[in-house]
Structure 1
Amino acid sequence: MKLSIQELNQIYADQICLEFSSQDQDKAWPSENEYSNDSARWNAYLNRLCLSKLINWLAENTEAEVKVFPSDKVLPTFWEFVNGTAINIGKKRIVLIPCEANNTEEFCVPQEWVDIPTWAADYYLAVQIHPDDGWLRVWGYATHEQLKQLGNYDRLDRTYCLEGQDLIADLEVLWIVLEMGADEKAVGKPLPILSMKEAEKLVQQLSRPSPSSPRLKIDFEQWAALLENDTWRQQLYEQRRQQVLTPAVISVTPITATRSQRTMVNLSNWWQDLFESGWQAVEELFGTQETNLALAFRGRGSRRVELDDTELDDAVTIKRQIELLSSSTNEDKRKKTAKKLAKNLESLLKNDCNDREVKSLVEEGVKALVRVIRTTDNEETRWTAAEELLIIDPKNPATGKRRIKDLGMQLVGNAVALMVSILEKPQGKVAVLVRLYPMNDKAYLPPQLQLTILDDREATFLEAKARENDNFIQLKFSGLSGDRFGVKVSLGDASITEDFVI
């Protein structure tokens, strides 16, 4: 339901609700060559629209000097890479974080604004923005200390996230503390010093064209040190733009292309670690070097399922769980047991990974999970066992192969990533899992986003649709070598299709 600005002000009387016109939107829209990709261009648009309305409101409602940090002129070198805009109010700093999400259950701030010492702010304002409806509202704020002490740090997104209920909703408190000059910002640890040679190498590496920010391509300390330096940040920004202005090297398959025009991804090659261009390891896309990819595999924002009974982390319990995995015919019980077993084995490995008995138990547990993956007829049980095995033995061949592709901003300005995983099954069959994730610091997929599996005649045989607050959607099926299928991702009239052969 579309709300007017008058209705918003009545509902959220203690919050800032501001309206913008079509002229405001036109002014905020960046030029075609100002950014290197659609994701950065959309990010800049939202931030410029947010800044243009709030900086005037702040100037009218505070006596202190209000200035953009570091200056309006260099903001594109920030928005090319990260969401958010900093404003200095007197001796204090606030950061505006615009977000299009319909709900206010969570507030996420990119790590750059928290852990780069010269960027860090005293306060962070959560701004809900609806360009199509013509309004924005500031629904709360958090302090630097809150984000560091109470925030949940997401290693995949490199964001600090607070639950909406933990934000300070009364904005009058913010204006009071700004006037009082209370010190809220903590001093972060200094960043490493990059040599000229290191910086030049990183600029060259990160200048390659990509459909989204390269902020997750290298470890955070290197990235932060590069970004904090005005000269290197400007160079990276200019070189990424130049790559786009230069005659294209990379061809993009049109969304409306027919199957004969589209590239076919051969999943059989994945068993030999031969992957088509654009398909990355999950940790590469999300920027983590951890060997345990369970969080990425299960879906961003998800947490380990809490078990409904008390567990004993001892050898007897683990042996019983291993036996139950092999003997039980109740698939729900087997799934639950697989989760319990992995949790107990993970705990043992953390406490004493060199003990001989521990190693023996882990080996037996791994074998039990592998047997489930290769013998069960239940797909839910198979994938549960694979995900749990990924936690304790991520390099085990039985966990299959998985790759992810950033689909960019082709779905009405929404960035999503497509992950495809395959597992070996009996009689030469292959289990396939297809999953969609939100990108660009988004916690949830856009509602009504549809994931469809097409057969070799491009007819639908499986489909799933994102609801409110879905941080991923997925589909599972099986096939034989040579089977062809398509994966269609659609939102409204926009769609992207990827074709596969097993």
Structure 2
Amino acid sequence: MITTFATDNKIMKLDFFTSFNDEHLWLEFSDEDWEEAKMLVENNHEQSIINLLISKCFLQWLNTTYEEAEEATLDQSVEKYLPIWSLFTGVAIQINNLRLILIPQDYQNLEWFNIPQEWVDIPQFAGNYYLPVEVNLDDQWLKIAGFISHQDIKNYGSFNTYLRGYFLNKNKIEAELNLLFILEEYNGSQSLSCPTLFPLLPEKEQKIITQLKLLPNYLLRYQLPFEEWGAFIAQSKNRQLLFKTHQPLKLGDWLNNNFEQATMKGWYNLVNFADNFSIIFNPPSLAMNGLSMRQGDVNIEQFYQLKEERQMKIVAERLRSISVQSSKKNQVLALLNHFMDQCHDEDTRWTIAESIWQLEPYHRGAGLWFGKKFDLGINLSGNKFTLVIGILGKSASENSIFIKLYGEPNQILPTNLKLVILNQEGEIFQELSARHQDLILQYKFWGQKGEYFWLTITQGDNQLTESFII
């Protein structure tokens, strides 16, 4: 796992790099290493997996290379690190009195070393030396680009207030890692210069929890003055509580009939609460393209000849007028299931799923639908609003998602209402705004299993955010 490489291709690629950078430490990791780290991380959170992976690789190299580093270890358990990694990146290695901070970096950013402020200015987090670790997930290698002391970060680092981090040009990094241990042997660990962070009163800590609970993880560290934020997360109990209140809803669990988390978070299966969510599926009342849908006239077999998804979608919509008590119900379900197997367009597949749900909510092709009512200061013309999410299996590695937001039945949404979908990097993926006379905002998309996304609902100054894993 450390400096021996499994394939000729990797040997050639890494030899090419190291021939020009032989002062750097290069470590390889395998698929097995990645999966091992993944098993220890909740929710497949990539930042957590990467931090755990680099720490394991580096510790193995230390223990193999330096006898005096046999006692090297993480400064705390993986379980205690998960709340930290949900907020910012980095991991501390303790070697007796020496504390090293590994900070993962994008291997494509070769000019700057970015260090989150928490690792420098919180006394409980700060270290003696900081090591940038360039990570290439595609080619499965790590490069320890060198080290820099805490004092030099303070002296030479450029602090970015907006990003809350210290930035250093990589020419300030000492590339030869062996020098770190020589310096430590002769100079000893230097005292660290960190600002004083005064403990917060319990009432203040509870106020912060309340203030932050409706915001996504990636925004939390920017909401408070650093003196308050640093003092707050310096306490393990606060990190754990913040982590617990920000666990994303695992939508994929629904497809495995695991609804415990959804129920605990106030989500309800629409099968059991259909009367409360009657607006979700509105059966069409008009025939289209001359297609007669009176129950006695439907010739189901003719629709098996359809080849175009557009036609299948039209038929699926019209078949919603079939009664649940109809003698043709099972034939219709079989046809809709056939359509589902033939279609790839997201809009068509969800139309079919909704039609199946009308007839048989527990059918595998109906998808799984959960709803949650909100009244958190967002006033929709005096009424509550409801967020509904449907999930439908797409492939072995992908799921389809359908999001619907609406007010009480027959209540028009206010025109200043917005629904924003953010990807796992916190970037806006889609933004929907209520228009005049809109009753519902809705959007369909698909994603990789294990992928994160956030929904943010805003009206004026009020905001609500929910996090999910596909």
**Matched residue, 1:214:** 220
CA deviation string 1:427-460 (max 9, x = no partner): xxxxxxxxxxxxxxxxxxxxxxxxxxxxxxxxxx
| Root mean square deviation, CA, Å | 4.1
**Residue number in structure 2 paired with 1:81:** 87
In structure 2, give the amino acid aligned to 1:78: I
1:7 is the counterpart of 2:16: yes
Q: What SS does the aligned partner of 1:212 have?
A: helix
Shift of 1:221: 1.6
CA displacement 1:48-80 (0-9 Å, x = unmatched): 111110011112233143121134442212212
Contact 1:109 1:161 in 2 (8 A): yes
**Which residue in the other structure is 1:27 paired with?**
36
Deviations along 1:68-95, one digit per CA (max 9) or x if unpaired, are 1134442212212220000112211110
| Matching residue's letter, 1:276 | K
Query: Which amino acid in the other structure matches residue 162 of structure 1?
Result: L
| Residues 123, 142 of structure 1: 8 Å contact kept | yes
Deviation at 1:196, TM superposition (A): 0.8
Alignment-derived partner of residue 135 in structure 1:
141
Specify the code of the residue in structure 1 equivalent to 2:423.
Answer: G
**Any idea what the Cα deviations from partners look like across 1:216-260, whole Å, max 9, x if unmatched?**
2222221111111122222222232387634456756989779xx
Displacement of 1:263 after TM fit? 7.5
The 5 Å alignment of 1:219-368 reads 219-241=225-247, 245-247=261-263, 274=416, 276-278=418-420
| Structure 1 residues 42 and 252: CA distance shift in structure 2, 3 A | farther
Give the percent of matched residue pairs that are identical in Structure 1 and Structure 2.
25
CA distance, structure 2, for counterparts of residue 155 and residue 114 of structure 1: 14
1:178 aligns with 2:184: yes
SS in 1 for 2:218: coil
Quote the residue 1:416 is aligned against: 427
- Distance (Å, rounded) in 1 between the aligned partners of 2:390 and 2:161: 32
- Identify the residue that residue 54 of structure 1 maps to in structure 2: 58
CA 1:257–1:408: 2 relative to 1, 3 Å? closer
Q: Say whether residues 1:167 and 2:173 are aligned partners.
A: yes
Q: Secondary structure at the match of 2:247?
A: helix
Q: Distance in 2 between matches of 1:18 and 1:144?
A: 24
CA contact (8 A) 2:113 2:132 kept: yes
Asked if 1:193 corresponds to 2:335, the answer is no
Determine the C-alpha separation between the residues in 1 that align with 2:390 and 2:262. 19
Inter-partner Cα distance in structure 1 for 2:106 and 2:17:
16
Residues 51, 89 of structure 2: 8 Å contact kept = yes
Residue 106 (structure 1) aligns with: 112
CA displacement at 1:211 relative to structure 2 = 5.7
Measure, in 2, the Cα distance between the counterparts of 1:238 and 1:126. 29
- Secondary structure of the structure 1 residue equivalent to 2:220: coil
Corresponding residue for 2:125? 119
- Give the gaps of 5 or more residues in structure 2: 1-8, 251-260, 267-371, 373-387, 392-398, 407-413, 437-444, 456-470
Q: Identify if the C-alpha distance between structure 1 residues 131 and 144 changes in structure 2 by more than 3 Å, giving closer, same or farther.
A: same
Would you say the 8 A contact 1:143–1:184 is kept in 2? Answer: no
Q: Does 1:144 align with 2:150?
A: yes
Distance 2:234 2:60 in 1: 27
What TM-score do the two structures reach when normalised by structure 1?
0.50
Higher Rg of the two aligned structures: 2
Q: 1 or 2 for the larger relative contact order (CA 8 Å, sep ≥6)?
A: 1
Q: Per the alignment, do residues 243 and 217 of structure 1 end up closer, same or farther by CA in structure 2, a change over 3 Å counting?
A: farther
The separation in 2 between residues aligned to 1:168 and 1:178, in whole angstroms, is 14
- One-letter code of the match for 1:416? E
Q: Counterparts of 2:447 and 2:240 in 1: how far apart (Å)?
A: 35
Alpha carbons 2:99, 2:128 under 8 Å: kept: yes
Q: How far did residue 277 of structure 1 move?
A: 4.6
Structure 2 CA distance for partners of 1:240 and 1:419, relative to 1, 3 Å: closer
Distance (Å, rounded) in 1 between the aligned partners of 2:40 and 2:262 = 17
Distance 2:143 2:72 in 1: 19
8 Å contact kept, 1:151–1:162 = yes
CA contact (8 A) 1:208 1:243 kept: no
Distance across 2 between alignment mates of 1:169 and 1:417: 38
Q: Which stretches in structure 1 are left out of the alignment for 5+ residues?
A: 279-404, 421-480, 482-488
- Superposed displacement of residue 155, structure 1: 1.4
CA contact (8 A) 1:5 1:19 kept: no
User: Aligned residue for 1:42?
Assistant: 46
Contact 2:87/2:217, CA 8 A, preserved across alignment = no
What is residue 98 of structure 2 aligned with on the other side?
A: 92
Question: Residue by residue, what CA displacement relative to the aligned partner does 1:158-214 show, whole Å, maximum 9, x if unpaired?
Answer: 110101222112222212112224344532121122111111222233333626352
Residues 103 and 242 of structure 1: is their aligned pair in 2 closer, same or farther, counting only changes over 3 Å? Answer: closer
Query: In the TM superposition, what whole-angstrom CA distance separates every residue of 1:440-493 from its partner, at most 9, and x where no partner exists?
Result: xxxxxxxxxxxxxxxxxxxxxxxxxxxxxxxxxxxxxxxxx9xxxxxxx9999x
The CA distance in 2 between the partners of 1:416 and 1:118, in whole Å, is 31
Does 1:154 find its partner at 2:165? no
Distance 1:89 1:44 in 2: 22
Structure-2 change in CA distance of 1:145 and 1:417 (3 Å): farther
Hey, what's the Cα distance between the residues in 2 that align with 1:16 and 1:173?
13
Matches of 1:143 and 1:173, distance apart in 2: 12
Secondary structure of the 1:132 match is coil
TM superposition score normalised by structure 2: 0.53
**Native 8 Å contact 1:94 1:124 kept in 2:** yes
